[in-house]
Amino acid sequence: MFNNLDLDVIFHPKSIAVVGVPSKVGGNGWLGMYGSLLKFDYPGRLYPINQKVSELGGVKVYPNLSSLPETVDLVILSIPAQYVPDTLRECARTGNKNVHIFTSGFKETGEAEGLRLQEEIEIIARENQLRIIGPNCMGLYVPKSKIVSWPAAPTESGRIAFLSQSGGHAQDFTNYGARLGLRYSKVVSYGNALTLDACDFLEYLAEDPDTDIIAMYLEGISDGRRLLKIVKKINQFKPVVILKAGLTESGTRAVATHTGSMAGETHLWDAFFKQSGAIQAHSLQDMAHTVLALQNINKVQGSRVALLGVGGGVGVEAADACSRAGLKMPDLIPTTQKKLREFIAPAGNMIKNPIDAMPILLSFKLMSKTLDIVSSEPYFDMIIISLHLDWIYDMDQGVHIQKLASYLATSAGKHLNGKPLAVCWRASRLEPKIEEQGLILEKELLQAGVPVYRDLPETANALARISNYHQQKKHLSN
């Protein structure tokens, strides 16, 4: 029904009309979605529409779509639900085929009037082949096109796409991911999915040269077979990470009242994940952590982890976390132990897996030697370094933490034999200076492309997912 060229116009609109701009500038200069586009420096032709005023903040306001000097690439409707049907008819009449309906009050209400309205606009949209994003959604964020329909988002582009049935989640995932250095090609909040559904966007993203990784927040889907087919195809060359909501009894009901979707049964979704090779995430944060690993690690041969870190309790926690995530932590074999014992004193240092030895964290020479030895062992596929910042901070008030950050960002990579490294840091004490040091370390590592996390289960889960993805990918075929 839709082709990628149509969506290409929607994602890179040269002209936009916003129907239902405010009659006047609100507090803090608030101007709704129209204001978000202005603030984001949208460079195309932008037409505010409102019947009641002729001017807004010094800019001409048009009374309706018919009065515009052109048909536009994208119409945004931000008007009460009862006016949507007539305005859609006007869209059809004026040849404006691409419409983002922000307005809510349709199927998701579960009430008679909302259901009726959604049926009415669906008929109008299908008869006129309108390409509808929504209703009941936040629409688009495409930094390359300088379009965004919410108050704040990074201006730089990246190579991650996010499809979301929730407008709040579209903002939250984008913002939380941005903290981890994630940047986006396209973010789409598509709500009730009147005509354009997840699969239509996926068909586009599959071929989108700007997108390497696809993340999705999914409540329900109209055509499960089509989704399976397309996700399975994409997973062969771009990873797809999906947070599927509504997999519990209460969740299913909540989904129905949110986007009017059918959440579907758990066992069907289990089968979907198995067959499609899609990576299942369990929360927005979890999805961002997984995408971070996918973005920075493009090769991993298996699931066997070597862990370097200090503290017996942390070692036990790491072992449990790795096991639960599906990773293995093989014991060091005697020859490896012997090589390490040549430069690590026995007292207070455990040369097992985890390798629990403070001297390694204090001397970069020892750290490099250790990484050389461990990463060259064929029975390890990846390495985690766990840093307890409270303890390292106490030595010299953070000087060594920053040295460690520089070492891990610039030198550690030369001692990994091409195997992936992830870093996990923690600080339990409520001391702003330690937290501050941690954030600097985090930033430096993220900029250097080293995935960094704040707890061991997070780290283990992210690594397990990409290890699994790379193993499964080989077996996917149409």
Under rule CB under 8 A, which residues in 99-128 are in contact with a copy of itself?
A: 104-105, 108-110
Does residue number 435 form part of the binding site for a copy of itself (CB under 8 A)? no
Which range in 33-41, 93-101, 139-147, 425-433 contacts a copy of itself by CB under 8 A?
425-433
Q: To the nearest whole angstrom, how small is the minimum distance from the Cβ of residue 171 to a copy of itself? A: 7
Helix 334-341 vs helix 364-376: crossing angle, to nearest 10:
160
Give the whole-angstrom CA distance, residue 141 versus residue 146: 8
Q: Report 271-310 residues binding a copy of itself (CB under 8 A).
A: 283, 285
Give the whole-angstrom CA distance, residue 472 versus residue 460: 18
Q: Which amino acid is at 331?
A: D
Give the whole-angstrom CA distance, residue 117 versus residue 113: 6
Does residue number 313 form part of the binding site for a copy of itself (CB under 8 A)? yes
Which range in 17-25, 52-60, 204-212, 247-255 contacts a copy of itself by CB under 8 A?
247-255
**Chosen residue from 45, 183, 328, 400 binding a copy of itself by CB under 8 A:** 328
Nearer to a copy of itself, 81 or 308 (CB): 81
**Chosen residue from 338, 352, 414, 433 binding a copy of itself by CB under 8 A:** 352
Does residue number 322 form part of the binding site for a copy of itself (CB under 8 A)? yes
* Count, residues near a copy of itself per rule CB under 8 A: 74
Is 188 in contact with 164 (CB distance < 8 Å)?
A: yes
369: Cβ–Cβ under 8 A, 6 or more apart, which residues? 343
Q: Report 168-227 residues binding a copy of itself (CB under 8 A).
A: 168-169, 171-173, 175-176, 178-179, 217, 219
Backbone angles phi and psi of 174, in degrees to 5: -60, -45
DSSP-derived 3-state class of residue 135: coil
Q: Report 376-395 residues binding a copy of itself (CB under 8 A).
A: 388, 390, 394
Nearer to a copy of itself, 232 or 465 (CB): 465
DSSP3 helix / strand / coil % (the chain, rounded to 5): 45, 20, 35
DSSP 406-435: HIIIIIGGGGSTT--EEEEEE--S--HHHH
Which range in 16-24, 123-131, 234-242, 350-358 contacts a copy of itself by CB under 8 A?
350-358
**Chosen residue from 254, 358, 366, 476 binding a copy of itself by CB under 8 A:** 254
Residue 259: which of 104, 404, 400 has the closest Cα?
104
Q: To the nearest whole angstrom, how small is the minimum distance from the Cβ of residue 304 to a copy of itself? A: 11
Q: Report 12-41 residues binding a copy of itself (CB under 8 A).
A: 27-28
Backbone angles phi and psi of 240, in degrees to 5: -115, 120
Does residue number 158 form part of the binding site for a copy of itself (CB under 8 A)? no
